[in-house]
Chains A and B, each alone.
Chain A
Amino acid sequence: MTAPQLDRFSFLQEVPNRAFLVGNVAFAVVYMLVITFAFEHGNPVLFGVLVATEVFHLVQIVGYCWTVWRRDAERPFDPDFAGSVDVFITVCGEPVDVVAATARAALAMTYPGQVQVHLLNDGLVAGKDNWRDVEQLADSLGITCHTRVTPGGAKAGNINHALRATSGEFVVVFDADHVPHRDFLVTVMGFFTDERMGFVQTPQYYANQRTNLVTRTAWDQQTLFFGPIMSGKSRLGAAFMCGTNMALRRTAVLEVGGMCEENIAEDFLTSLFLHERGWRSVYLPQVLAEGLAPDDFLNYYKQQFRWTRGSLEVIFKYNPLLRSGLTWAQRWQYLLSASYYLSGAVIIVSALLPVVFLLTGATPIVTSTMTLALVFVPYMWLNLYVLQRSSNSCYSWSAIAFSLSAWWLQLAALYAVLTGKKTAFAVTSKEVGDGGRPNFLRLVVPQLVYVALGVVALGVGAAREGLSPSLMANFAWLSVHVAISVPFVVAASPSRGRRAVPAPPQPPRPVEPGEPTPEAVTVGARGEEVLR
């Protein structure tokens, strides 16, 4: 039933080492206690801010170790399950070739029950030029196309519109660029033998991950989430929908009023509502569809902004801790997932501490810099080792750098949520130019301002302190923060057409009889080839 998976799926194979997880939490607690109580306090405001950031880190570390402590182990499964399925392929202006590959792959899926494939065409309401082409594609393939004429609710609205027009017991959702494997349905649908199973989520695999820095980094970030984190959440009954490559029970979704249209991250919030009503979920850690990562910095930025804003709205408008229908494990898991996006504020505060010292001489704590090193360095190294080990070495420096450099994006999203400012929902564009990298430097102006501020601060600090140990330590910290922003800035900066060099070939995946042809998968999976 399951094809052998190659090493490119090794992110699914993490085996948590609990000794390291316990050690990580212990080191984090000790570091927190030492910072708070063992050292002489400096500037009270800075000290308070430092402690607040360390509390945030501690909660995130404890939450992470708790989440990845163990994977989901076993669920009821009926291999002969044959409930009727509507396959929804959401389309909003993607190239017709991309949509065609996905639709053909969906039609080729094997399943003992009834399957209807539908194109959910939002091209018309989104003002996309190719919406008629999508309808023609549906005609040519003999599948239904639901073209909305009344806008609203973005992708959630599109799905809800199709829910009203269809009647299958179950719904499977694919983004237009996520090509399902032939065995998707037979591998997934059997979980619905549990009558309270509300939805099944599978990984969101990026087949174009080797195209450029942005796709590589976006994928590296996904590996951590779809590797240990989602498996752990599934164990705790808190696996949530991720918008694509998922199967839903119609009655469950309808019970909560369809996909939530009020939130920019409709999948996250709808999951919360389903869990609140007692529906179960499972995450199946097996790549059963292959899609496209955002392939330039703008698309990546928009995607991250959307996720951030949606998650923060959940905290401020639907605080999971206050949702009485959720178990405590679910409450904390939702809060941990959403609060990750508050880290922007924490990161910029940490980054500003050396700048403040260089400008004013004020520090949050007063201690020998080497004593601080003795406490901090082992804690930091162990933390990173746990991250690396729990992701089965699929995480990367650029993934960390992108996460840590997204502070402005996260602050902007936080501001938008707190002020209720509207932001346009933008479906990630999959267009790939055949030239160089476009210029997106305007998106990283805050990072460049930080670098400039750091240089000025260094001058001020050097004039005041000379080459003191404190100056050296803070200069080193400043260098660390600047270095972290380098991959982010590089990805945003323009370059000439190096991308004309073909991407390294993906490892071959065994093709079963009846599976979509390799050409179809390849065309669907690699944006740059779509345009040739």
Chain B
Amino acid sequence: MTAVLDTPPPTVRVRPARPGRHAAADPGRWVPVAAHALAVVGVLAWSQLAFIGRSTRLDEAQSLWQTNHSYGRLLELIAQDVHVPLYHLVLRTWRLVLGPDIGTARALSLVFLLASLPVFYVVARSVLSRGWASAALVVFANSPFLLWYGNEARMYSMLLLVTLLSQWAFLAVLRTGRAAAWTGYAASAVVGAYVHYFFFFVLLAQGLFLLAVSRRLPRGSVLRLAGTAAAVAAAFLPWFLYFRAQGSASETRPQLPSPSSVDFSNVYSQFVFGFQSDALNTTLVSAWPLLVLGALLSVRNGSRLGRPTAYLLVAAFVPVLTAFVVSHLVTPFFLSRYMVPAAPALLLLVVVFATTLGPRTSRVLVGVLLAVTVAGTAVQATSPDNPVEEDYRTAATLAGEAGPRDVVVVSSPFTIYPFEYYYDGPARVTTLPEWDRVEAAPPFDAATLPEEAEALVDGHQYVYLVLSYDQGYQDDVYQYFAGRYEQVAAHEPSDGLQVLVYRVGYAEPVPLGG
């Protein structure tokens, strides 16, 4: 006879407490209601006080310009761009009904952000008690990163909403495996695929996670996952074919550098602290060894990584990591705003971590997190060093001093959209390199710069040079004008946006009686 050693003795299991379920932090039902009210008020207050009235940014101006066109032309423009069409279709309809201005367009994003609040709460409830999920919701509502994109006339808050809906459905799939959960998951997946290409990374992370835990899921889960993937592929195929037919946006892709480790860490830094000055951001991310302390503190007796929390880990890191790798292997497209689907998972993980450290410490840490979030939003709203601020309104106001004998030169060419949105002066506005806005943006040629610049300034008194979004030749343009003409004024309305005034001609005296 033999004794079996690797089978554990029968156990009487004590049902493990839900993560972060401290009795003191699990109050009555009024707390989530109050948290939602507080979150809505917070989002609206931040929006009105700090964000919704800011200057239009380049991408927003492009969205406004695109949605000024008919639905058919809009689809054509989006297909020629690097995006999918759902947001712009909704935005055009929204503007047709409610008004064309930037504030109205931004209000749509705000609606998506507000709609995200209850969805975030239900996702949070999968890993947190009622009290802590409410606290997480308040943090979420004050997040500088999410507030920024909740007040931008772009698709990122819509992407946030559809990602949270997808995560809600996916967690229900993991928990119940019911047909309703799968249906909701498949529907959100199809919608998400039409909101932003990055959503496919969300689906990838979910697929990998489901495959990893499939042995513990109901039979047929992998088959249903394959069915969902097929449904998404089938639903996306028409757009893909249309996109290919329109040239695969081969001439409109932005020139982005390959991401570095700093870019990678900045994504997570911005999720928590928002868009801060380079100096402050560098200081914050340099303290990364504290993550090691966090990891050590998270080793708790009896603290097990539940399936929802494990999924949140995957949701917070796998899409960003995938984008990072693909940006190195295929083509660079690593921008922190594309990573917005990973932000809620990260915020939740931070709160989950805090709640594992005992009631008193948890309260202190979540309080600190909320304070940091609010402070980050306030600094982001008021700091002149905000790296994503694009104050074309001030630039246009400054250029408004130009007279009819002056010329305004905008470079890079595509920044003419936000500039023109505000500019209402008498001077002629042109771009360098010169662009007709019908064809693809022209390439820069250093050899032809003198000739092109001479043609632009010929016959004018002053050149108002508006420089932003360096595409690799901004310094050439600057050096050309600085080396030939007298600079009479220089302004920097926001980080990376300059308005330089050069005197290029001298008015001849007008003969009396002439």
Contact = CB atoms under 8 A, between A and B. Distances in A.
Interface in B1-56: 1-6, 8-14
Given A368-B262, A370-B264, A393-B304, A4 B3 contact: no
A476 interface: yes
A475 B286 CA distance: 9
A4 B6 contact: no
Nearest to B357: A397
A423 interface: no
Contacts of A419: none
B305 interface: yes
A396 B300 contact: yes
Contact of B299 (A9, A190, A370, A397): A397
A43 to B, nearest CB: 19
A453 interface: no
Interface of A: 2, 4-7, 9-10, 12-13, 70-79, 190-191, 216, 220, 231, 234, 282-286, 368-371, 373-374, 376-377, 380-381, 384-385, 387-389, 393-397, 399-401, 467, 469-470, 472-473, 475-477, 479-480, 483-484, 507
Most chain-A CB neighbours within 10 Å: which of B2, B3, B14, B304?
B3
B295 A74 contact: no
B479 interface: no
Contacts of A373: 261, 265, 288-289, 291
B507 interface: no
Given A5-B10, A397-B298, 4 more contacts: A394-B302, A395-B301, A473-B289, A476-B290
Interface string B431-452: 0000000000000000000000
B489 interface: no
Contacts of B299: 384, 387-388, 395-397, 399-400
B125 to A, nearest CB: 23
Contacts of B295: 377, 380-381, 384
A397 B10 contact: no
B1 A377 contact: no
B292 interface: yes
Contacts of B287: 472-473, 475-476
B462 to A, nearest CB: 42
A73 B292 contact: no
A377 B292 contact: yes
Given A4-B11, A395-B299, A397-B299, A231 B6 contact: yes
Contact of A369 (B8, B12, B286, B297): B286
Contact of B303 (A190, A380, A393, A483): A393
Interface of B: 1-6, 8-14, 260-262, 264-265, 282-283, 285-293, 295-305
A369 B288 contact: yes
A34 B292 CA distance: 19
A370 B301 contact: no
A78 B1 contact: yes
A472 B286 contact: yes
A525 to B, nearest CB: 19
A136 to B, nearest CB: 38
A233 B41 CA distance: 60
Nearest to B5: A72
A58 B160 CA distance: 41
B292 A72 contact: no
B1 to A, nearest CB: 6
A483 B4 CA distance: 43
Nearest to A375: B261
Contact of A190 (B3, B286, B288, B305): B3
A191 B3 contact: yes
Nearest to A11: B301
The 3 closest A-B pairs by CB, nearest first: A77-B3, A472-B286, A476-B289
Contacts of A231: 5-6
11 contacts: A70-B6, A75-B3, A79-B1, A231-B5, A370-B285, A373-B265, A384-B299, A393-B302, A393-B303, A393-B304, A397-B296
B11 A7 contact: yes
Contacts of A75: 2-3, 5
A51 to B, nearest CB: 19
A475 B288 CA distance: 10
Given A377-B288, A394-B301, A76 B296 contact: no
Given A191-B3, A394-B301, A9 B11 contact: yes
Given A371-B261, A473-B287, A4 B10 contact: yes
A373 B265 CA distance: 9
Contacts of A216: 301
A253 B307 CA distance: 49
Contact of A473 (B13, B262, B288): B288
Contacts of A77: 1-3
A283 B3 CA distance: 12
B3 A2 contact: no
Contacts of B2: 74-77
Contacts of B283: 467, 469, 472
Contacts of B13: 7
Contacts of A12: 8-9
Nearest to B6: A71
A472 B300 CA distance: 28
Contacts of B261: 368, 370-371, 373-374
Given A191-B3, A373-B265, A397-B300, A469 B9 contact: no
Nearest to B284: A472
A347 to B, nearest CB: 13
Contact of A282 (B5, B9, B289, B292): B5
Contacts of A368: 260-262
Nearest to A381: B295
B321 to A, nearest CB: 9
Contacts of B288: 369-370, 373, 377, 473, 476
B318 to A, nearest CB: 12
B292 A473 contact: no
A7 B14 contact: yes
A6 B295 CA distance: 29
B296 A73 contact: no
A73 B1 contact: no
A387 B304 CA distance: 12
A286 B9 contact: yes
B417 to A, nearest CB: 34
A368 B288 CA distance: 12
A479 B302 contact: no
Nearest to B310: A385
A9 B295 CA distance: 25
Contacts of B1: 76-79, 190
A484 B297 CA distance: 9
Contacts of A472: 282-283, 286-287
B6 to A, nearest CB: 4
A217 to B, nearest CB: 10
Contacts of A4: 9-12
B9 A480 contact: no
B264 A374 contact: yes
A385 B340 CA distance: 27
Nearest to B305: A385
Contacts of B264: 370, 374
A484 B294 CA distance: 11
Contacts of B282: 469, 472
Nearest to A283: B5
A69 B3 CA distance: 20
A6 B12 contact: yes
A479 B265 CA distance: 20
Nearest to A8: B14
Contacts of A395: 299, 301
A285 B5 contact: yes
Most chain-B CB neighbours within 10 Å: which of A2, A72, A373?
A373
A285 B10 CA distance: 13
Contacts of A71: 5-6
Nearest to A480: B293
Contacts of B12: 4-7
Contacts of B9: 2, 4-5, 9, 12, 286
